[in-house]
């Protein structure tokens, strides 16, 4: 089947998913659901997940493929969040402190991760997956044994070990979502979170137009070209990994404040997968991605997740949204991996 040029450029998987989303919205309209609420929820989720998706961009641009090791950055952000909670810092300063500590941790962690990836060239995605899994398990021990004393964080009985889910209610729950919040035609827009997402996207875009960013992208395109141009691709890969890990740390802090809870223990385990699905649905490949892919992909995938649950439960009196999520998410990753080397 040959599609017209513009449609082909858009990509068949993206097309199918956009059509699926349109059908979901169509059903929502037909069954008189709260359309404004659905759109508003979709936008909230875009802001919530956007930075985690953005975190994948430097890794792809740096030639490391899909960063399945994203949980490493996420864990750094979580440690930052827990420390800020333990210190009892509220409001926007709590978020800033959590993000700041997260970034400070993510830089050395990212360097170690990058060092490892340079030693396991060509298997970045598999190494990232396993390293992520291993670190999540190791951190589960840490959460249990870490000397946090704040009674709102530790288990009520026994007084030792952090709880699996920490509520941010009254601390910095939705503090960015509410900051600069406004309503357009009855649709609530979480201004602050979107501003942070937009700002970081802009900075990332700008970074890839700097000398360092251009070297990273050049080394991705051709190792041998980079070498001939005097670029050390070991260094650019390290830089890309650090940047990806740092964005992952910031991403989870923003995610948590918007979600209202900090999830510990095994929660970060599978967090890379939906983010990866987002950027791929946006049109990125394992070797090439843009900010546009991040935004479009997050919008499409998160909207489907938001709309699918209420719509399907309305129509078939059951929940297939989780099933749909898993099929789309993992199918998309599988599809992208079959395209490796073909671009």
Partner 1 sequence: MTSSAAGAPALELKGIVKEYEQNRVLKGVSLSFQSPAEAMEAGIGMVHQEFMLLPGFRVAENIKLNREPTLPNPASRVLGKKLESLDVARMRADARRALDAVGLGIDEWIRVAGLPVGHMQFIEIAREVDKERLKLLIFDEPTAVLTESDAEKLLDIMRGLASKGHAILFITHRLDEVLAVANRITVLRDGEVVGTPDPKTTTVARIAELMVGRPAAIAAQRRFFAPTTEPALGIEHLREDMPGERVEDISLAVRRGEILGIGGLAGHGKLGIANGIMGLYPAWGRVVFGEKLFPLNEPREALERGLAFVSEDRRGVGLLPEESVELNIALSALEAQGRFLHPSPIPALQVLNHGAMHRHALEMIRALDIRTTGPSQQVRRLSGGNQQKVCVARAMTLRPKLLFVSEPTRGIDVGAKERVLEILTALNREQEVTLVVTSSELAELRAICDRVAIVYRGKVEAILPPDAPDAAFGLAMAGESARAA
Q: With respect to partner 1, which residue has the nearer C-beta, 23 or 229?
A: 229
User: Does 205 contact partner 1 by CB under 8 A?
Assistant: no
CA distance 266 to 178: 29
User: Does 206 contact partner 1 by CB under 8 A?
Assistant: yes
Contact code string over 209-228 relative to partner 1, x by CB under 8 A: xxxx-xx--x--xx-xx-xx
CA distance 68 to 270: 9
Identify the three-state secondary structure at position 170: coil
Contacts of 58 (CB under 8 A, 6+ apart): 204, 216, 240, 241, 243, 244, 247
Read off the tokens for 291: 């900010």
Interacting residue with partner 1 among 12, 134, 144, 229 (CB under 8 A): 229
Locus of tokens 């137009």: 209
Contact code string over 251-290 relative to partner 1, x by CB under 8 A: -------------------------------------x--
Is there a contact between 55 and 244 (Cβ–Cβ < 8 Å)? yes
Interacting residue with partner 1 among 33, 180, 231, 337 (CB under 8 A): 231
Interacting residue with partner 1 among 159, 170, 230, 318 (CB under 8 A): 230
Smallest gap from residue 222 Cβ to partner 1 (A): 6
User: Does 320 contact partner 1 by CB under 8 A?
Assistant: no
Task: Specify the stretch interacting with partner 1 by CB under 8 A; choose among 140-148, 205-213, 278-286, 313-321.
Answer: 205-213
- Kindly report the number of other CB atoms within 10 A of residue 188's CB atom: 17
Contact code string over 164-193 relative to partner 1, x by CB under 8 A: ------------------------------
Smallest gap from residue 232 Cβ to partner 1 (A): 8
Give the alpha-carbon dihedral of 304, 311, 173, 144, to 10 degrees. -80
Q: With respect to partner 1, which residue has the nearer C-beta, 86 or 244?
A: 244
For partner 1 (CB under 8 A), the number of binding residues is: 19
Read off the tokens for 331: 């199918």
Q: With respect to partner 1, which residue has the nearer C-beta, 130 or 225?
A: 225
SS3 letters for 280-307?
Answer: HHCCCCCCCCCHHHHHHHHHHHHHHHHH
Is there a contact between 234 and 118 (Cβ–Cβ < 8 Å)? yes
Smallest gap from residue 221 Cβ to partner 1 (A): 5
Q: With respect to partner 1, which residue has the nearer C-beta, 199 or 331?
A: 199
Nearest Cα residue to 131 out of 73, 53, 55: 73
Task: Specify the stretch interacting with partner 1 by CB under 8 A; choose among 98-106, 125-133, 164-172, 208-216.
Answer: 208-216
Contacts of 161 (CB under 8 A, 6+ apart): 143, 144, 145, 154, 155
Q: With respect to partner 1, which residue has the nearer C-beta, 210 or 313?
A: 210
Residue 74 phi/psi, 5-degree rounding, is -60, -45
Locus of tokens 């598999």: 126
Smallest gap from residue 239 Cβ to partner 1 (A): 9
Locus of tokens 């009892």: 88
Q: With respect to partner 1, which residue has the nearer C-beta, 219 or 336?
A: 219
- Under the rule (CB under 8 A), what is the footprint of partner 1? 206-207, 209-212, 214-215, 218, 221-222, 224-225, 227-231, 288
């Amino acid at each position: 089947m040959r599609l017209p040029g513009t449609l082909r450029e858009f990509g068949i998987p993206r097309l199918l998913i956009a059509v699926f989303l349109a059908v979901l919205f169509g059903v929502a309209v037909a069954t008189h659901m709260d359309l404004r609420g659905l759109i508003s929820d979709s936008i909230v989720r875009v802001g919530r997940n956007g930075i985690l998706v953005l975190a994948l961009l430097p890794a792809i641009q740096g030639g490391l493929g899909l960063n399945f090791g994203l949980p490493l950055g996420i864990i750094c952000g979580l440690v930052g969040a827990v420390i800020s909670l333990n210190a009892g810092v509220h409001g926007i300063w709590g978020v800033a402190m959590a993000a700041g500590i997260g970034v400070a941790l993510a830089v050395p962690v990212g360097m170690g991760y990058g060092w490892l990836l340079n030693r396991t060239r060509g298997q970045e995605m598999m190494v990232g997956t396993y390293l992520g899994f291993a670190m999540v398990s190791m951190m589960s021990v840490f959460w249990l044994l870490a000397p946090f004393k704040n009674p709102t964080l530790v288990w009520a009985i026994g007084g030792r070990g952090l709880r699996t889910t920490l509520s941010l209610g009254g601390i910095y729950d939705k503090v960015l979502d509410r900051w600069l919040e406004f309503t357009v035609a009855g649709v609530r827009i979480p201004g602050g979170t979107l501003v942070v997402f937009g700002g970081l996207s802009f900075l990332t875009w700008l970074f890839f137009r700097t000398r360092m960013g251009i070297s990273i992208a050049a080394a991705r395109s051709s190792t041998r070209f980079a070498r001939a141009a005097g670029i050390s691709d070991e260094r650019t890969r390290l830089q890309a990994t650090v940047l990806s890990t740092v964005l992952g740390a910031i991403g989870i802090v923003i995610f948590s404040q918007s979600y209202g809870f900090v999830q510990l223990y095994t929660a970060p385990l599978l967090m890379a997968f939906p983010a990866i699905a987002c950027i791929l649905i946006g049109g990125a490949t394992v070797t090439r991605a843009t900010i546009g892919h991040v935004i479009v992909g997050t919008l499409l995938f998160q909207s489907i997740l938001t709309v699918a649950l209420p719509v399907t439960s309305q129509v078939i009196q059951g929940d297939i949204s989780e099933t749909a999520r898993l099929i789309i998410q993992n199918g998309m990753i599988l599809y992208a991996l079959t395209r490796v080397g073909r671009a």
